[in-house]
Amino acid sequence: MFLKRYVLASLMLLTGLGVQAGEKKELHILSANDMHAAIECMPRVGFVADSLRALYPNLLVLSAGDNRSGEPLNDMYEIPAYPMVALMNIIGFNATTLGNHEFDSGQEGLAKLVSMSAFPTLCANVQPDAKWNMHVKPYQVFDCGGIKVGIVGAVALGAMGIPESHPKNTVDIKFTDPLETLQQYQFLRKECDVVLFLSHLGFESDVKVSKDLPWVDIIVGGHSHTQLKGGEMHNGLFITQNKNRLACVTHTTLTLEDGKVVDRQAENIAIRGGKNENKVVRALVDYFSQNPAFYRVLAQVDTPFECYEELGNMMCDAYVQEGHADLSFQNPGGVRYETKPVGGFTVADALRLDPFQNEAIELQLTGKELIDMMKKCYDNDNQGFPYVGGMKVDYTVDPATKALTKVVLYGEDGKKLNLKKTYKVITNSYTVAISTTNRKDPGKGIGKITAQLVMDYLEHQGHVSYQGSRRIFRH
């Protein structure tokens, strides 16, 4: 017996891994992604985490990024986005990666949030300048009841080589290619029983990179808001992701035998509509929600908004009317929800629709300069054509490359806009930053954020109806 124990102990020392030959263990993971400050759902998340921990004490609770941006109670708190950090702390999250919207806090704001977090922020392809004192780590190894789990994170980069946030928020932060950077952490395979990639690349990118990550066991993904039924296998790698704003979370079970993952199972757990809550988390949410100004009704919605374009058109009309402009345009990524039912349109609704506090920018543009800006916006905002005000647009896209091949602008009277005539145009500061062209006028701020223009417009209108409103036509 003594000899047997001695041999077993020697093998454990030699392997250095948590799961030994002949053992069968389970690793349980609760994951969320793209929560976008849905603080009203966090008490339910807390209940689910507590319930699973009662069954599986070594539960890992993870977020695949974009924890903020989408709820004014969070994003406009005196320390912006602190409520989500506090709620994630009390629920007991073990780690998060950076989403592109984490950078909405700016460098100093993000550094403050990272320092306030009781969990590590893991993102290997982000290297902040030391002056920001931003304690982002590339990876961390967790001991989950004897199972060694190595987690490495990465965030997607847009067409400009930075995450899709305002460029000013990424100054003096170095970003590297996610896949190339990840390959530097293959050593985790030898050191750990399970290697997990905490990804904010998007589902299609996760599938694409999976063929180059044979040393990874599972991708917990985010960014594209893709609702998977549990998880999917691609190139031998298990991938999970959920729709945004906590429609549900995923409980994943990895079974290990002889130190290797031999089975993967995942189930979605509904968050919205669930009744059971963590009472302590609920009390904290109620505390953060004590601001009646956010619930003031600005206007009545007479017919439901049924798509992004209808809401984008309303925003662009607000820019034209409240900015006293001829024309306006809005990057599609800046319209943050798709539908709005009949009823009151509140301050909070307006700030959820446009949560980024971008300044309204006035530009004097010829028709040609306007088209050039809109083309650049299309290229740098996920090839989505901007929404417009004061005009309509016909545009043509190459089916193979998705590149714009033709753009024609029409006035509200149906006549083509004069390419040589100068128009007063309003857009937001983010759109200006990603739409660099050789225009004569760099633009100037009008002293208001675009969300304020939207709120002013709604109050002046009293009632709004945009059902069926279409202004951009693809050919």
> What CATH number does residue 97 fall under?
3.60.21.10
Do 276 and 309 lie in one domain? The reply is no
pLDDT score for 1: 34
Q: Which of 288, 317, 335 is the last residue of a domain?
A: 288
SS3 345: strand
- The predicted pLDDT at position 20 comes to 56
In a domain, 3, yes or no: no
Q: Please report the pLDDT score of residue 259 as a whole number.
A: 87
| 456 in any annotated domain | yes
Structurally, the chain folds into a number of domains equal to 2
What pLDDT score was predicted for residue 347? 96
**Could you tell me if 268 and 359 lie in one domain?**
no
Domain identity same for 262 and 362: no
CA 220/CA 153 separation, integer angstroms? 10
- Does residue 409 share a domain with residue 329? yes
Residues 146 and 249 in one domain: yes
Give yes or no: residues 409 and 465 share one domain.
Answer: yes
| Predicted pLDDT of residue 8 | 36
What is the reported pLDDT for 340? 98
SS3 string, 12-74, reads: HHHHCCCCCCCCEEEEEEEEECCCCCCHHHHHHHHHHHHHHHHHCCCCEEEECCCCCCCCHHH
**Is 2 a member of any domain?**
no
The burial class, CB within 10 Å (0-12 / 13-18 / 19+), for 182 is buried
- Number of Cβ within 10 Å of residue 183's Cβ equals 11
Note the pLDDT of residue 397.
96
Residue numbers in the chain where pLDDT is lower than 50: 1-17, 19
**Residue 419 sits in the same domain as residue 462:** yes
Residue 435 lies in a domain: yes
CATH code, domain with 364:
3.90.780.10
Q: Residue 21 has what pLDDT?
A: 58
Supply 465's token pair.
Answer: 């109806």
179 lies in a domain?
Answer: yes
Please report whether residue 1 resides in a domain.
no
**pTM confidence score:** 0.84
Cα–Cα distance list, 357 to 133, 383, 448 (Å): 24, 23, 9
pLDDT at 18: 52
Q: Are residues 65 and 188 in the same domain?
A: yes
- Residues 149 and 234 placed together within one structural domain of the fold: yes
Q: Is 249 inside a domain boundary?
A: yes
With beta carbons less than 8 A apart as the criterion, state whether 117 and 88 touch: yes
Q: Are 402 and 324 in contact (CB under 8 A)?
A: no
pLDDT at 13: 37
Q: Are residues 307 and 450 in the same domain?
A: yes
Same domain, 231 and 311: no
* pLDDT for position 23: 77
The vertex-404 CA angle with 402 and 409, nearest 5°, equals 140
Instruction: Look at residue 76 and tell me if it is in a domain.
Output: yes
Both tokens of 358, joined, read 């971008």
Of the residues 257, 288, 319, which one is the last residue of a structural domain? 288
- Residue 329 structural domain: 295-474
Do 371 and 337 share a domain, yes or no? yes
Helix (H) or strand (E) holding 250: strand 248-257
- Of the candidates 258, 288, 318, which is a domain's last residue? 288
pLDDT recorded at residue 274: 87
